[in-house]
Structure 1
Amino acid sequence: MSNYNLEKGPKDRPYVISIAGLDPSAGAGLLSDLKCFEAHRVYGFGVCTALTVQTDTAFLKIDWLEKEQVMEQLKPLLEKFPIQAVKIGLIKDLDTLLAVCEFLISFDPKIKIVLDPILKASAGYKFHEWNRTSSIFNKVLKRLFLITPNYLELQELKGHDLEHNLEIDQVCQIWSADCAVLLKGGHHPDKLGTDVLFEKNEQQEFKSGSTTVFQKHGSGCVLSSAITAQLALGNSLPKSCFLGKQYIEKFLNSNNSLLGFHNS
């Protein structure tokens, strides 16, 4: 008898997709996301957006895939499987990001799209200079379920012309009219380690449960993919963020190296 069920997935696991770059060290991007999905007992598909040459400490080269190549990978998966949630990480540019979001929604408007806006590699390589002054970025926000910037990323994303004099929390509140915003606390000068979820007129904090952590390559990828998995499992957004926070802290403290272990 087959263990395959199109409604829920293999052995009743929901389907999710990671759309991200291929990091050969498997600390970040596609390979890391799939390890995280497996630990959460969801069935993860992977769609590649870029081929990188990197380790946990050095970023050397990137070859981008065009939007047509990304959507070509997505199409047969979306046609065959009921996808519950999608995590998007590293992607070539805003045009590609918008096209991919619209492509996903054209198959199912209820797909939950989680964007981890990766602007710079942990080793220092800068990928993008996106900001809210872009009309394309505004369109992207309206198609997302959740965006997960850290403090430094949000400072760049908010732009220099629009909302220049607003506090970071005010910017998040404005953005949350389009999609939920999880402001990660890893680089926050005032709330270090505290993540803050903004949903329209509501705000919720998720404080750190650990006094010390060991930094990891790709920790932002892991948090966003953990939240994506929890959403696919049917949890609310606040609960998914809370459980994602617990998972990332276990991941950070799984060892004292830059490459973490995924454990359910």
Structure 2
Amino acid sequence: MKTALTIAGSDSGGGAGIQADLKTFEAHGLFGMSVITSVTAQNTLGIRGVWDVSLKAIHEQIEAVFDDLPVHVIKLGMLSNIGIVSTVADLLEGRAEGIPIVLDPVIVATSGDRLLAEAAIEVLISRLLPLATITTPNVKEAEVLSGRTIGSHEDAWLSAEAIVEAGASNVLITSVDAERALTDEKKTVDLLLMGNERLQFTGDRIRSQHTHGTGCTLSSAIAANLGLGLELEEAIERAKNYVYNAILNAPGIGNGHGPLRHAIIG
């Protein structure tokens, strides 16, 4: 059986973070494992508090997994400070050779809450971008990573190129249209820079407030597909289809941005 390891924060509301990742892995038929980097008190209305796990605890969690269990793919999510980013990078540099890594640079939550300290961004760029098979920022995160403002699709491509120049292998900028209203309101657009090749993924838009954890879910679905041996382009296509259906079949709970239904495929 294929396995997937997520290294990320916990969401008490169950819609994002570790919880979303593990549900997504299970839906794709992978055995999910986790390293919790931060504990958050949150629900569909927003984040009430964040408590980072000690570096020792993070180190021991990662070591415990690698000492005993096979790891076929790794997803990186919320790594909120320099110490956490550095600890994870130190261990993965020695442990994760040859393992696909999906980096979801969690910088800002759907609610607008900041989840990555400013000082940690440079370390994430220098230490983790080079380790990742693919990095999956949304528009706001891509602007932070690239130092460029995105006001058009061409701006997004240039931002992706800047992120690659900073050390990334492949960059998928997600929901470009949703963030900046750059295309037909009935469509969604994600832009993938794969080496020097530009690929655009277009899909139907669902008008829904139940979108909490979409970034986590998309990146963990991409990771799951890579863990199953799919090539990157197909892994993204299938992941986007999965997220579309997870939103379409959302349980409709909570008074804010509700969660997806992760127990669904196709």
Report which stretch shifted further, 119-128 or 52-61: 119-128
2:80 partner letter: K
1:261 is matched with 261
**1:58 alignment partner in structure 2:** 46
CA pair 97-230 structure 1, distance change in 2 beyond 3 A: same
Deviation, 1:168, is 2.8
1:139 CA displacement? 3.0
How many residues are aligned here?
A: 248
Where does residue 241 of structure 1 map in the other structure?
236
Task: For residue 98 of structure 2, give the secondary structure of its aligned residue in structure 1.
Answer: coil
Could you tell me the TM-score, scaled by structure 2's length? 0.85
CA spacing shift, 1:174–1:126, aligned 2, 3 Å? closer
The answer to whether structure 1 residue 187 and structure 2 residue 179 are counterparts is yes
- 2:14 is matched by which residue type in structure 1? A
Opposite residue 179 of structure 1, the aligned amino acid is S
Partner in structure 1 of residue 14 of structure 2: 26
Q: CA 1:132–1:124 in 2, change beyond 3 Å: closer, same or farther?
A: closer
Aligned positions of 1:107-126 closer than 5 A: 107-126=95-114
> Does the 8 Å contact 2:81/2:117 carry over to 1?
no
CA shift in 2, pair 1:195/1:205, >3 Å: same
> Which segment is superposed worse, 131-140 or 72-81?
131-140
Of residues 35-44 and 200-209 in structure 1, the stretch that sits farther from structure 2 once superposed is 200-209
Say whether the 8 Å CA contact 2:82–2:119 is kept in structure 1: no
Q: 1:151 and 1:63, CA in 2 relative to 1: closer, same or farther beyond 3 A?
A: same
Matched, 1:93 2:81: yes
Pairwise CA distance, 1:173: 1.9
Distance 2:210 2:180 in 1: 15
Structure 1 match to 2:92: 104
Deviation at 1:188, TM superposition (A): 4.0
CA drift of 1:130 comes to 4.4
Q: Deviations 1:29-58 (Å, cap 9, x if unpaired)?
A: 111111111000011001111111111112
Instruction: Provide the residue aligned with 2:255 in structure 1.
Output: none
Which blocks of at least 5 consecutive residues in structure 2 are unaligned?
A: 253-257
> Cα deviation per residue 1:132-186 (whole Å; 9 max; x = unaligned)?
983652332111111111112111222379xxxx933112123335321010024
Query: By how many angstroms is 1:128 displaced?
Result: 2.5
Calculate the TM-score normalised by the size of structure 1.
Answer: 0.85
Cα distance between partner residues in 2 of 1:160 and 1:180? 18
What residue in structure 2 maps to residue 7 of structure 1? none
Query: SS where residue 188 of structure 2 aligns?
Result: coil
Aligned partners of 1:160, 1:149: CA distance in 2, in Å? 13
- Cα distance change on mapping 1:36 and 1:135 into 2, 3 Å: closer
**Deviation (angstroms), 1:96:** 2.1
Corresponding residue SS for 1:41 = coil
Change (3 A) 1:211 1:89: closer
Question: Per residue, is there more helix in 1 or in 2?
Answer: 2
SS at match of 1:134: helix
Deviates more, 1:94-103 or 1:177-186: 94-103
Distance 2:249 2:93 in 1: 36
RMSD over aligned CA atoms reads 2.4
Measure, in 2, the Cα distance between the counterparts of 1:53 and 1:132.
22
Matched, 1:197 2:192: yes
When structure 1 is superposed on structure 2, of 76-85 and 204-213 the one drifting more is 204-213
1:130-145 correspondence runs (5 A): 130=118, 134=122, 137-145=125-133
Q: Which runs of 5+ in 1 are unaligned?
A: 1-12
CA positional deviation for 1:214: 4.7
Question: Residues 108 and 230 of structure 1: is their aligned pair in 2 closer, same or farther, counting only changes over 3 Å?
Answer: same
Q: Quick check: 1:228 aligned with 2:216?
A: no
Aligned residue among 201, 204, 215 for 1:206: 201
The answer to which of 137-146 and 28-37 deviates more is: 137-146
> What's the counterpart of residue 3 of structure 1?
none
SS in 1 for 2:23: helix
